[in-house]
Chain A
């Protein structure tokens, strides 16, 4: 019941005028980013980090999280109306969503998506409210070896689950770790890989890297094959037929379960959640042949799953400090920038912050439901903003945003460099997701290893003599072995969606 009272206090924080405004701005921007094809939640959150620079930490994170879960709602609209997914997790919604639109049922498709997203989102935030503190309480007992093991597990999961080729995932992960080495060593104070330049002495700024890798590279990729958005049809009626309520709500329930389960697993991104949900809906349906021809369950399930996923993804971030996806890594970067360390101590050290943020997510989901039900037609029009007008403005925001971080043109140059690297990585199918997550965890991984060794009496064996860390390490090794096996046997590819979510 503790959580409940703390949550009520959180609402006090979240309901202050300024935080309410930032929450509103956040979910609104999230919707816009979701609706616009060619701008996803990762690049969206990354390019808005500098804007939050001067804000209160709690307001900044409220806004950034709002962008993240708001984008999940927005992505649906263009998928359903014009068959262009606004963000990657909504790709699967195109299949049945667009078919429903062709039959004149766009309203029902959007209606169930909004309701499903709301239910999935709220249940996931409820899980965060009650599971988060419990998990972080448990993790408070963790010492350096356990944290080392958890980070290693998280990194290996991401490598194992992302991309077509295991070796490319590993390459990305190792490069990320090496980039984290640049700058002053935390323990001895020695400068590593700085090549005598003053700028590199502080290491590579996370925001600079994220804006380049996700912002610039995405613009370059879109320049190749711009998404063509046709005029969306008019939306009439937002509720499903009377007979459809039962099956719809059941698929919403299943979608919530799948989304939450996959949300806490590092590397299982929201597109995996929505794909799984679609497959499941097709399996349990009495008449699977309806799928692909406008089955309402094929819209409700996946849309719920990706929203439940985005809420649940915050659980490992808040309680363990483990980002499970690039967007979570960007939000973790924002935490660090505002002087907060996610991890077990967050709930006890910064309760105002955590509970304010969690409360804001209840409010944000409610705002999104309102925005999506009666106002859905208005959002569809945003997708019509021509890209040729939009992309120079986005570039401008990235450029100025990067500069404003440290008033340094060097950062801008570095950011552009990462932009081109990101583009090349995308072309070579080397998963950026693995690189950004290992980059942000790199120095912690090193520190926790050194701390473990300093308390250890028998060197590296400490990771296997402590029970909890031994279990986590074994799981990590098993996952690694399985992914090598599947790589050798060429069984990868079923989940081979390196979608940077």
Chain B
């Protein structure tokens, strides 16, 4: 399916479902208000238009017109991208559990580990973590928590 129609059809379908969902939700808000249109006016029209556009998009993709020239990553580059995304998620989880210092250190170690020797990795990650912590806490006065849920 992917190769026959291209990802445009799938994207169009997802956008259509999203638009439909928002369209249905928009009826909760009053369509008309004091001066005419109410809070529901824009959401209803916009999601309605989006539904029409997504059908047009699906049609265009099926015809193979104006298709995107970008290709989806495969093999090594796909792995690399997933690796980055997973480490980002890991950062968020660690941040919630243990606070900034641990999260940042582990995150940087994970990303540097493949490229540098282990002692360089550890030194760079620790140094960078402390530097960013210092920069944000003292220079920019944005408080970063050093503890999380677990300690």
Contacts and interface: CB of A to CB of B under 8 A. Distances in A.
Contacts of A412: 92, 95
Contacts of A54: 140-142
Interface string A154-190: 0000000000110110110011011001000101101
B5 interface: no
Interface string A206-241: 000000000010011001110000000000000000
B68 A181 contact: no
Given A429-B70, A453-B35, A181 B7 contact: no
Given A192-B43, A453-B35, A427 B7 contact: yes
Interface string B129-151: 00010001000111110000000
Contacts of B89: 416
A220 B22 contact: no
Interface in B7-50: 7-8, 11, 15, 22, 25, 29-30, 33-39, 42-43, 46-47, 49-50
B43 A178 contact: yes
A450 B66 contact: no
Contacts of B68: 164, 427-429
A420 interface: yes
A193 interface: yes
Interface residues of A, number: 61
A185 B41 CA distance: 11
Contact of B140 (A171, A404, A428, A454): A404
Contact of B57 (A168, A223, A388): A168
A407 interface: yes
A400 interface: yes
A396 B92 CA distance: 11
A449 B37 contact: yes
B128 interface: yes
The secondary structure that dominates the A interface is helix
A404 B92 contact: no
B143 to A, nearest CB: 7
Contact of B73 (A178, A185, A224, A393): A224
B46 A177 contact: yes
Contacts of A395: 84, 88, 107, 111
Interface centre among A395, A423, A490 (most CB of B within 10 A): A395
Interface in B70-108: 70, 72-73, 77, 80-81, 84-85, 88-89, 91-92, 95-96, 100, 104, 107-108
A446 interface: yes
B29 A192 contact: yes
Contacts of A50: 142
A193 B77 contact: no
Contact of A404 (B38, B60, B136): B136
B59 to A, nearest CB: 9
28 contacts: A165-B57, A167-B53, A167-B57, A167-B60, A170-B53, A171-B57, A174-B53, A178-B43, A181-B43, A185-B29, A188-B33, A193-B22, A223-B81, A388-B112, A388-B115, A389-B115, A392-B107, A396-B108, A404-B142, A404-B143, A407-B142, A413-B92, A416-B85, A416-B88, A429-B69, A430-B11, A450-B37, A453-B35
Interface of B: 7-8, 11, 15, 22, 25, 29-30, 33-39, 42-43, 46-47, 49-50, 53-54, 56-57, 60, 65-70, 72-73, 77, 80-81, 84-85, 88-89, 91-92, 95-96, 100, 104, 107-108, 111-112, 115, 124, 128, 132, 136, 140-144
Given A167-B60, A429-B69, 13 more contacts: A171-B50, A177-B42, A192-B43, A193-B22, A389-B112, A392-B111, A395-B107, A404-B143, A426-B70, A428-B11, A449-B37, A450-B35, A453-B35
